[in-house]
Structure 1
Amino acid sequence: MEAKTLRFIRRGELVSLGNVPPDRTLLDLLREDLGACGTKEGCGEGDCGACTVVLAEPEGDALRFRAINSCIRLAHSIDGMALWTVEDLAADDGALHPAQEAMVQCHGSQCGFCTPGFVMSLFGMYQNHVCRGKAVSRELAQAELSGNLCRCTGYRPILEAATQMAELPRVAVDEPGLLAQLRALVPGSGGATGSAYLAPTSLSELLSLRAAHPEAQLVAGCTDVGLWVTKLHRHYPQVLDVTRVAEMRRIEPWAPPGDASAAEAGLSIGASAPLTDAFAALVAQRPQLKNFAERFAGLPVRNSGTLGGNVANGSPIGDSMPLLIALGARVVLASVRGERALPLEDFYTGYRKSVLAADEVLARIEVPGPAPGEFLRAYKISKRYDDDISAVCLVVNLQLAEDRVVAARIGAGGVAATPARARQTEALLAGQPWSEEAAAAAAESLRAEFAPISDMRASAAYRREVLGNLVRRLWLESQGMSHINLESFRLEEVAA
C-alpha cells in the first residue's frame, strides 16, 4: 500500500515527510526522524505527560490549541496541523517564552525530565487563556496540568509558574498568518483506496472505505490503539482515521424521537468529537458533572481521545459509558446499508465486544436532556485522584417528584465484563419514597447485583462495599451535605 506524505507546519515552515508508516507514533517521528529529543518518553501510554506537545488547527475564524500526548498519537493524524515542541518556544535570540521563563523564575524544574512536558502544557494554557485575555488561576492550572506528573513532587512552584505567566512580557503567535498557512495546506487525500493511512473527510466517504476495507484498524484519538502500538507492539498495515469526518465532529441539539416536549433538550455528539468538547457540552447542560469530566484522564488525553472511541472500545473501566447509560444515551451505528440506533447498554456483548458489524462505524451518541426533578451524581473511585483509571465508577440518575423516585437509571463500571446498567436496583427504587431506608435497600441491592473481580486496582469485596457506600453518599448529598466529598475540599480553608 502507498504511504501518504505527511505535511504540517512547524516554526512557521512547512514540514513534508514521505514514507512514514501508518502506525508510527508522533513521538517516534519527533525523536528518531526529526531529532527533536526535547520531547521525552516517560510512560509510553499517555499517563505521565513527559511527551506533551501542542497542536493547532483552524476552528472557525481562529486557531484551536491543544496539548496532547505524542507517545500514543499517530504521526499521520497531525497532517494539515501546526505543531510545537519544547524546542520551538524560545525566540531566535534565545529569549525564553513566558511558559519557560515562569518555570525558571518560580524554580519549577527539579530533576528536569518532566519539565518539557509541563512547559508545553503551560504553552497550551498560555495560548488558550493568557493570549485570549483570561487569567490563569491556581484552580485552572491544577485542572489543566492534571495530565503532567512530577515524580519529584514539586507541584507548588509549577502551579505558581502557571499563574505568573501573564505577568511577563507578552509573546504572541502570529495567529492570522498561521491560520492562512493552514488553510492553504489542504490535508493530503485521505480517501485513496490504496493508501496505508485513510483519512476521509465526509461520512459517506468513510462508510465506503469501511465497506471496502473492513480489515483496516479504525482509529480516532488513539488513546487506546496507541497503547496497542507502544505496549503490545502491534503493527497495522492500514489505518482508517475517523477524526476528520465533518459530520462526526459536530455537537448539536437533539430531541428523542416522538418527544415534542423535549425539543432540542438533548445532545447529539459526533463520535469523533474530542472528549474535551463532548464533556464541555454535557457540563453546560449538567454543571454537576464538571468535576467528573475533569477527572476523566488528564487534559492531553481528553484533547486527543474521542467520546465515540471510548464507547466503541468498550473497556469495562471506561468512565464515559456508566455516565451515558445513566443519562439514557443511545448509539447510532452507520454503514453503507443505513443507520440503526440502540441503547448504549445493549451495544456490548462481552469483554471489549459489541454488536458493531465489520462494515459499520459508531457515528454519534444521542443523549437526552435533563428530566424534571433530575438528581444526578457521578462518582469515580481510583487510587490517585487525578489522571487515573477507575476501580469503580458509579453514576446514579434519579427523577424525583415530591420526595418520590419517579424513575431511576444507574450505570456502573469496573464491576462486570462490560459497562453495566443496574436494572434490578433501578426497579427496586422506581415508585418508592426517596428515604434513608430506600437508599439503604438500594445499596444492598447494588452490592448483590454485580460480581466484580479482584485485580491490581481493587478486590472484589472492596468494589462491592464501595458500590453500597456510594449510594449512602448519594443519599447524604441529596439531603444537602456537600462537605463529605473531595470536590468541596479547599486547602486554603484548612490552612486558615
Structure 2
Amino acid sequence: MTRNTIRFIRRGKVVEVTAFPPSRTLLDYLRLDEKSRGTKEGCNEGDCGACTVVLGRLRGGRVFYEPVNACIQLLGQIDGTELISVEDLAAGGSLHPVQQALVDHHGSQCGFCTPGIAMSLFALYHHGEAATRQDIVDQLAGNLCRCTGYRPIIDAAQQVCDGKASDRWSKESDAVRTRLAALQDDTDIVIGDADSFFAAPASGDSVAAMAARHPDATILAGATDVALWITKQMRILPKIIHLGRVAALHRLENHPDRLSLGAAVTYAEAEAALSAIDPDIAELLRRLGSKQVRVSGTIGGNIANGSPIGDMPPILIALGASLTLRYDAAWRMLPLEDFFVAYGKQDRQPGELVWRIDVPKLQANEAFRCYKISKRFDQDISAVMGAFKIAVENNCIANARIAFGGMAATPKRALATERALVGLKLTEPDSWSGAIAALGTDYQPIGDMRASADYRRAVAHGLLQKALSEIAGELTERTRVLGQRERQVVA
C-alpha cells in the first residue's frame, strides 16, 4: 500500500501536503508556501543556524524535541513529526520562557539569528535535565551570532534551561504523543510519478526493491550533504528515495564485541554507544558538525557519499569496521577501507544501498587515539583527521591500524607506516622516527583552501608522534584541548 501525501503536526493539527517538488526544502515550504517568515535564510548550507526549527519525534513512547536546519532538511523528511517554528512559541500575548529570558538578558541585537537561537534553546529547554554551561555551548555551536555576542545568550539559557519545562508543549505532552502515534504507519510514501518523485518506503524490502528499479534515483538519509547539492550546486534531483522510515536502517545493536549500526542511524542516536568505545571518539563527536547536523546526519550517509574529509570514516577504518550492502535481495559484505575506490567513487553499484556498519570494540591490549585538526574548533571541516589503533604487548607494538582523512582522495589506511611500527618499543621513542617518516610513502596530500600539502604532511607526522607519546603514558593537560567529558575521564 502507498499514500501520496506526507503528514505532520502543525500547531496542534494534522497537515497533509502533496504534489511538491522532490527537492523542496523545509525552509522554502515555511517561507514561501506557509508564509511563516520568522525562520530566516542565512548561509543555506546548515552552518549558521538562522533557519533552525524544532521537530518533535516519537521514540519509545516519548516525544523528543530536536533542532534541525530547515535549509538542508527536505520537506518530505518531516512525515510523522511535529513541526515547531519560532512563530509558535509565544501564546496569549506572552512570550515563551526562552524568549523572555533572551529579552531579560539582552540576548538579541539585529535579531536575524535570534529565531534560530530561540529554537535551539527551546529544544534544550525540553531536554529533561538541567543544562550545564558546557551543554549550552554545545547546543549553540550551530548558531552563529555576530552582533549580540554569546555571553548574554548563554546567561539567558542558564536561567531558563533548568530541566523543568513549563509551557504548553509540556502541559499537552500526552495529547502530542497521541497525535504523533496516530501518524505512524507502515505505508510506503510516493509523491509524484515514475519520472519525478519523492519516495519514503516503510520497509527494508520496499526500499531495496525501489532503489533497484530506479538506479538513477538519489538515495537520501539525513540530507546534510545531499541538500547542499540542491542549495549550492543548484542540481535538479528528479527522483529521491528517503531511507528515514525504514526501521531496520535505524537499528542500533550493542554487542559485547561490536556495534552494529543501521545505515540511517544518526550521529545523535549513535553518540552514546560510539563514545563508550573510547573518550577520544566522544570528543570528536562533540565537534562533528552541530547539534542540528548530528540530529539529521547519518553515519551511513557519510560513508556512502565518500567524502575524503569526513570525520567518521578514518575512525571506523582504524577500528576495523565492515559494511553490509544490499541490492534488492542480494547482500554482500566488505571491509570499510575497501569501499572507497577513488575520489567521488565508491564500490557501490547504482541502486545498491549501504545497509549496516559493524564496528569492532577495542580489546584489552588495544589503545585508540583520534584527532581532528581544523581552523575552527566547533562545526568546521577537517584539514586533517587522524585515527590510530595500537595493540601493545610487553611495551611493544604488536599491531597497528592507522587511517587519515584529508591526506588523500579518499579516507585511507597508512599501510607502510603500520608495518614499520610493528615491533617498536613504546618505551624507546627515539626508535619511532623511521615509522613516522613512512607516512611519506603512504600519503601525497594536495594543498587547498583548508591547508597546504606541506602543512598536512607536518601535521600527520605530529599526530602520529602525539598518539604514540600518549599511548606510551604521557597523556597530560598540556597535550590537547580537552572537552568536558574528556576532562572527567582524565580526572
Check if 1:57 corresponds to 2:83: no
Which residue number corresponds to residue 35 of structure 2? 35
Distance 2:343 2:148 in 1: 37
Which residue number corresponds to residue 448 of structure 2? 455
Distance 2:178 2:29 in 1: 25
Which residue number corresponds to residue 9 of structure 1? 9
CA deviation after TM superposition for structure 1 residue 3, in Å: 9.8
Check if 1:466 corresponds to 2:467: no
Q: Which runs of 5+ in 1 are unaligned?
A: 255-263
Distance 1:178 1:489 in 2: 36
Residues 403-434 of structure 1 deviation map (CA, whole Å, 9 limit, x = unaligned) = 11121111100010111111111111123212
Which residue number corresponds to residue 201 of structure 2? 200
Check if 1:480 corresponds to 2:478: no
Distance 2:153 2:104 in 1: 10
Q: 1:346 aligns with which of 334, 338, 344?
A: 338
Check if 1:237 corresponds to 2:246: no
Higher mean alpha-carbon deviation, 345-354 vs 153-162, is at: 153-162
Which residue number corresponds to residue 151 of structure 1? 146
TM-score (norm: length of structure 1): 0.92
Which residue number corresponds to residue 257 of structure 1? none
Distance 2:47 2:479 in 1: 25
Check if 1:175 corresponds to 2:178: no
Residues 189-247 of structure 1 deviation map (CA, whole Å, 9 limit, x = unaligned) = 32688571111121111111111111111100001110000011111122100111110
Q: Secondary structure at the match of 2:382?
A: coil
Check if 1:436 corresponds to 2:400: no
Identity of aligned residues (%): 45
In structure 2, the CA distance between the partners of 1:242 and 1:432, relative to structure 1 (3 Å rule), is same
Distance 1:486 1:99 in 2: 35
Q: 2:309 aligns with which of 314, 317, 320?
A: 317
- 1:16-165 to structure 2, matched below 5 A, reads 16-91=16-91, 93-128=92-127, 132=128, 134-152=129-147, 154-165=149-160
Which residue number corresponds to residue 252 of structure 1? 253
Q: Retained in 2: the 8 A contact 1:3–1:196?
A: no
Distance 1:489 1:61 in 2: 32
Residues 265-288 of structure 1 deviation map (CA, whole Å, 9 limit, x = unaligned) = 210000000111123211123233
- 1:280-299 to structure 2, matched below 5 A, reads 280-299=272-291
Name the amino acid aligned to 1:327.
Answer: L
In structure 2, the CA distance between the partners of 1:304 and 1:438, relative to structure 1 (3 Å rule), is farther
Name the amino acid aligned to 1:90.
Answer: A
Q: Retained in 1: the 8 A contact 2:384–2:407?
A: yes
TM-score (norm: length of structure 2): 0.93
In structure 2, the CA distance between the partners of 1:360 and 1:94, relative to structure 1 (3 Å rule), is same
Q: Secondary structure at the match of 1:297?
A: coil
Q: 2:354 aligns with which of 338, 358, 362?
A: 362
Distance 2:293 2:84 in 1: 17
Distance 1:484 1:351 in 2: 37
CA deviation after TM superposition for structure 1 residue 112, in Å: 1.4
Q: Secondary structure at the match of 1:456?
A: coil
Q: Retained in 1: the 8 A contact 2:3–2:189?
A: no
Name the amino acid aligned to 1:102.
Answer: A
CA deviation after TM superposition for structure 1 residue 144, in Å: 1.7
Q: Retained in 1: the 8 A contact 2:267–2:299?
A: yes
Which residue number corresponds to residue 258 of structure 1? none
Q: Retained in 2: the 8 A contact 1:3–1:18?
A: no
CA deviation after TM superposition for structure 1 residue 169, in Å: 7.8
Distance 2:58 2:134 in 1: 28
In structure 2, the CA distance between the partners of 1:476 and 1:157, relative to structure 1 (3 Å rule), is farther
Q: Secondary structure at the match of 1:71?
A: helix
Distance 1:215 1:345 in 2: 25
Name the amino acid aligned to 1:343.
Answer: P
Q: Retained in 1: the 8 A contact 2:99–2:118?
A: yes
Distance 1:337 1:202 in 2: 13
Residues 353-375 of structure 1 deviation map (CA, whole Å, 9 limit, x = unaligned) = 11111131000100011112221
Count of matched residue pairs: 476
Residues 1-42 of structure 1 deviation map (CA, whole Å, 9 limit, x = unaligned) = x99323211111122223211110000000000011111111
Distance 1:60 1:482 in 2: 41
Q: 1:269 aligns with which of 245, 251, 261?
A: 261
CA deviation after TM superposition for structure 1 residue 64, in Å: 1.9
Higher mean alpha-carbon deviation, 441-450 vs 292-301, is at: 441-450
Name the amino acid aligned to 2:39.
Answer: T
CA deviation after TM superposition for structure 1 residue 153, in Å: 6.3
In structure 2, the CA distance between the partners of 1:330 and 1:153, relative to structure 1 (3 Å rule), is farther
Name the amino acid aligned to 1:322.
Answer: P
CA deviation after TM superposition for structure 1 residue 489, in Å: 7.4
Name the amino acid aligned to 1:326.
Answer: A
Residues 326-381 of structure 1 deviation map (CA, whole Å, 9 limit, x = unaligned) = 11001110122421111111001111211111131000100011112221111000
Distance 1:306 1:489 in 2: 23
Q: Retained in 2: the 8 A contact 1:3–1:19?
A: no
CA deviation after TM superposition for structure 1 residue 465, in Å: 0.5
Distance 1:302 1:438 in 2: 41
Q: Secondary structure at the match of 1:44?
A: coil
Higher mean alpha-carbon deviation, 194-203 vs 273-282, is at: 194-203
